[in-house]
Amino acid sequence: MIESLKSVSSLTLSSPLGGAMTENSVSSTAFQPGLAQNVQNAPQSMSFAQVLGDMASDAVGSLKAGETKSFESIQGKANTREVVDAVMTAEQTLQTAIAIRDKVVTAYLEVARMQI
């Protein structure tokens, strides 16, 4: 999930207007030499939908791993520490997914309230 969040941050490093250079984008990269290199190394083919899809897939995988570890504990195949780590990771992932969902819903409602 952390990798998905890093890919979201790399999307913000891309140049504005879908790669079109503007006066502001040239002047802002002139003062930050490391930023120009990050923009060139940023994955250009990732869309916002792909990032959210990857994050959702990672969240589901984390929840399934926690569930699997708890079943292994019931069967006596996993120790308590492994189970607690897996369940806490799954809980943290679920809380993150809920927070992102809430932000998306709030943003949608805000856009829906805009006057045309």
Same domain, 75 and 112: yes
CA 89-62-71 angle, to 5 degrees, is 90
* Pair 41, 55 in one domain: no
Q: What is the pTM of this model?
A: 0.57
pLDDT for the residue numbered 52: 86
DSSP 20: -
pLDDT score of 72 = 94
Q: How far is residue 47's CA from residue 11's CA, in Å, rounded to a whole number?
A: 8
Enclosing domain of residue 80: 47-116
What's the token pair of residue 23?
């006066």
Looking at residue 60, what is its pLDDT? 94
Q: How many structural domains is the chain composed of?
A: 2
